[in-house]
Amino acid sequence: MSINFAAFSNQDIIAALQAQVATGDVLTDQDTLYKYSDDQYSVVDQVVLPLAVIEAATIADVQAVLAVARQYHLAVITKATGTSVVSGSRGRSGAVILSLDRMNHILEVNPDDSVAVVEPGVINNDLDKAAREVGFFYAPDPGSKNISSIGGNVSTNAGGMSSVRYGVTKDNILGVKVVLADGRLVTLGGRTLKQAFGYDLTQLFVGSEGTLGVIVEITVKLSPIPMGTPLTGIAFFKDMADLAKGPGPCVVQVSTQPCWKRSTQQLWLLWTVLKARTTLTNTRRC
């Protein structure tokens, strides 16, 4: 004989979500639950279906979901494009999945201030294309650039090849708007490169993977497109000792071919060289 101590039913929770989420959709059909519960990189054989999927369309929708979740003690799994390779946004029994796919608007691209303001569902490459139209670009370029969202990049502090020169995601985030677990909206950071006052709460949320709150708006730094023709250098070293010295005294082969035309081995060598050079330079400055 089993005893149910719950003071409310699943129907009560779903009804509360439907009543509070004004613009988005609260979905409970099996096909949708299965779709959002899994991802292409799953490492677990069994798919666990959540209680509901909420496709938020506005910040108010996100606030409503978290307020209801706190009232009913629900786990909330935030998800956008689901490109994580660690299955961090998989479904969980009794939880709700909060999808930010529909919050995919580029709110502002400002070349005068070198910033852009976006919603979390904006695809990384779409932001980069929009910035390039005004002579700038968005530097963080993870391997999933064409399919991953800015919100996911911020939550996981994504990197990429350009991080050697321009830093990873955290180095390109100026401010965020975050909905906390009780539904309150907080604004952190700003639009300026220098914010040397108080605690750096913006960076606290970068890489937190949704454990501290849901990021609903991001202000990013844009970088000017470098002048001239892009060049790729390949440095060759006879041993690790020469590699540690950096590419200075070595013969460097320069090519104007697009990177995709070169072999994976060459690109990996380039990455190793540049990373080693950057590390040594930073060490000497300390």
> Is the predicted pLDDT of residue 266 greater than 70, yes or no?
no
Query: Which DSSP letter does residue 123 get?
Result: B
With the CA atoms of 187, 188, 189 and 195 taken in that order, what torsion angle do they form, in degrees rounded to the nearest 10? 130
Position 285 scores a pLDDT of 36
Structural domain boundaries enclosing 84 = 10-99
87 shares its domain with 175: no
Last residue of a domain, one of 182, 208, 224: 224
The answer to which of 7-11, 144-148, 271-275 has the lowest mean pLDDT is 271-275
Token pair listed for 190: 């700003």
The answer to whether position 4 is within a domain reads: no
64 shares its domain with 132: no
184 shares its domain with 123: yes
118 shares its domain with 32: no
Position 240 scores a pLDDT of 83
211-242, pLDDT tens digit by residue? 999 999 999 999 999 887 777 777 777 888 87
Higher pLDDT, 101 or 164: 101
Where is 27: in which H helix or E strand? strand 25-27
User: What whole-number distance in Å separates Cα of residue 89 and Cα of residue 73?
Assistant: 19
> Is the predicted pLDDT of residue 13 greater than 50, yes or no?
yes
Position 283 scores a pLDDT of 36
Last residue of a domain, one of 54, 77, 99: 99
Position 284 scores a pLDDT of 37
Q: What is the pTM of this model?
A: 0.77
81 shares its domain with 158: no
111 shares its domain with 217: yes
Total domain count for the chain? 3
- Strand order from edge to edge, sheet including 115-118: 106-110, 115-118, 214-221, 173-179, 185-189
Position 195 scores a pLDDT of 78
Whether 149 and 100 have beta carbons less than 8 Å apart is answered as yes
* CATH number of the domain where residue 28 is located: 3.30.43.10
Residue closest to 171 by CA, chosen among 220, 130, 226, 135: 220
The answer to whether position 1 is within a domain reads: no
Higher pLDDT, 181 or 88: 181
pLDDT band at 279 (very low <50, low <70, confident <90, very high): very low
Last residue of a domain, one of 99, 118, 134: 99
160 shares its domain with 119: yes
The answer to whether position 3 is within a domain reads: no
In whole numbers, what is the pLDDT of the chain averaged over residues? 83
* CATH number of the domain where residue 139 is located: 3.30.465.10
The phi, psi pair for 177, rounded to 5°, reads: -110, 130
